[in-house]
Amino acid sequence: MDDLFATHDALAVADLIRARKLGAKELLDATKTSLRKANERLNAITDFYEDTSPPADGPFHGVPYVIKQLMADCAGHPTTLGSKFFATTPVAPADSAAVSRMRRAGLVIVGRTNTSEFGLAPTTEPAFRGPTINPWRPDLSPGGSSGGSAAIVAARALPMAHATDGGGSIRIPASLCGLFGLKPSRGRVSLAPIGETLAGAGAQHCVSISVRDSAALLDAVAGGEPGDPYRAPPVERTFLDATKRAPGKLRVAFMRQAMGQGPLDPVLVDAIERTARLLEGLGHHVEEASPAYDAAGLDAAFWRVMCANTWTNIQLRAAGRVPGPDDLEPVTRLYAERGRAVTADDYIRSVQTFHRTGRQLGAFFERYDVLLSTTIARTSLPLGTVRMDGSAEPFEQAVAPMTAFTAVCNAAGVPAMSVPLEWTEDGLPIGLHFVGRFGAEEMLYALAAQLELACPWRHRRPS
């Protein structure tokens, strides 16, 4: 059982439990022990829960699972947002809609994972709980803001874990930890009971060791709740079915440089070019092309929306409490104050920038099915690179290469995935980023399954 998740994904583990080859309680007890042991060196899990209720008879019957401390509530527990200010309050009166669906799918929630404060940073080094360590190398960050979830899955202490994504926070840690991570289309997974997050840029799903686990979980959690502001279009069959069929001949565009950024590291350019050749070998039509949009204008709009949401969320959740001088990290406090000063005109113009960018990407995806790049514009992320204890300018400069390819997908609401297809000479994972048109998760899953078969990655794991 010690190495179970190195050889079995979540669906395979659930099959063992249903076949009575593995006891659900035996698995739960052993997993809790191994999680605590892994956490001693990774600092990935902030809270451990005791769940004694029998698991539902769903596709993931009896599989232990962890929920990120952001954008999802577990009944009877606080959602800290990675912040000291919300360490104990407010306590969630009920599960959020997605968490309820996860439980109905058979998952057993055993704890919460670390995140950057309010999910603002693409790393996981909050002052409140301390930095999470990348299991590939102890001087590296697993990325963020879903770094706690990614680290625990990369260490094979679990086969998959909850993750959220407002500008790349599923795909960035998936890339840095050698995992599969798909951000769904806007409205594919309900955020109820909260409203839209980051003007519709926020999404939630998971990081996983296999493509089929991600697809099956999206089948389980997808769908709207009454009154949701928007929903993604319905699918023809299921996402899991999509992983079992060929994607057909796709029109793939690849880009060697991020919009508004300098040249990529040659290691990353080589990874993109090798992946382009791999896709050609699989029968796809591949050519170099990039969508046209105002990258600088979108970046400015993103920060305004981020600041405004930071201020508003503090006010809503604090219920009259005022943060003390040590309750928030310096960058969080600065962004909250900036958000307080954002005018209605500025906010609406920023949302319109999101929508305009979405239409520009929509036009691009009339000509192409997939856009390929690397997930991030770095080969690794040393701890301390992205700091929230200083001023805004160095923070934003450090963030820029992390979100250069990912954030536009959040603004436009389109699905995108990081696939661990390449590796540096010293053995670190490089995620390749694939973007599809709105609602095209089925196509992305079919492509991901094809790539997983052509270039398997599950055997690659931290020592």
Active site residue 350: no
Q: Which of 411, 422, 410, 301 is nearest to 373 (CA)?
A: 422
Helices of type H across 247-343: 266-281, 295-318, 330-341
CA gap 456, 78 in Å, rounded? 38
Choose, from 169, 175, 185, 350, the residue flagged as catalytic: 169
Opening angle at CA 287, ends 168 and 415, nearest 5:
25
Phi, then psi, of 169 in degrees rounded to 5: -75, -5
Q: What is the 3 state secondary structure string of 365-414?
A: HHHCCEEEEECCCCCCCECCCCCCCCCHHHHHHHHHHHHCCCHHHHHHCC
Q: Are 430 and 271 in contact (CB under 8 A)?
A: yes
| Residues ≥6 apart with Cβ < 8 Å to 418 | 170, 171, 172, 174, 175, 179, 180, 181, 182, 375, 431, 432, 433
CA gap 123, 144 in Å, rounded? 4
Active site residue 53: no
Q: Buried (b) or exposed (e) across 66-100, using 16+ Cβ within 10 A?
A: bbbbbbbbbeebbbbbbbbbbeeeeebeebbbbbb
Choose, from 34, 68, 146, 183, the residue flagged as catalytic: 68
Opening angle at CA 99, ends 98 and 103, nearest 5:
120
Q: Which of 272, 238, 241 is nearest to 255 (CA)?
A: 272
Q: Are 143 and 402 in contact (CB under 8 A)?
A: yes
Strand partners, 165: 203
CA gap 360, 356 in Å, rounded? 6
CA gap 142, 164 in Å, rounded? 15
Kindly list the structural domains of the chain, giving each domain's residue range(s) and its CATH number in brackets, ordered by start: 4-454 (3.90.1300.10)
Q: Are 239 and 188 in contact (CB under 8 A)?
A: no
Helices of type H across 19-86: 24-42
The pLDDT score that the predictor gives to residue 195 is 85
Handedness of CA 188, 189, 195, 201 (dihedral sign): negative
The pLDDT score that the predictor gives to residue 196 is 86
Query: Three-state SS for 37?
Result: helix
Choose, from 145, 149, 208, 350, the residue flagged as catalytic: 145
Q: In what helix (H) or strand (E) does residue 113 lie, and over which residues does it extend?
A: strand 108-113
Other Cβ atoms less than 10 A from the Cβ of 175: the count is 31
CA gap 1, 27 in Å, rounded? 8
The pLDDT score that the predictor gives to residue 53 is 86
Residue type, 280: E
The tens digit of pLDDT for each residue in 397-429 reads 999 999 999 999 999 999 999 999 999 999 999
In the predicted model, residues of the chain with pLDDT beneath 70 are 1
Query: Three-state SS for 18?
Result: helix
Residue type, 108: V
Active site residue 190: no
Query: Three-state SS for 92?
Result: coil
CA gap 84, 326 in Å, rounded? 8
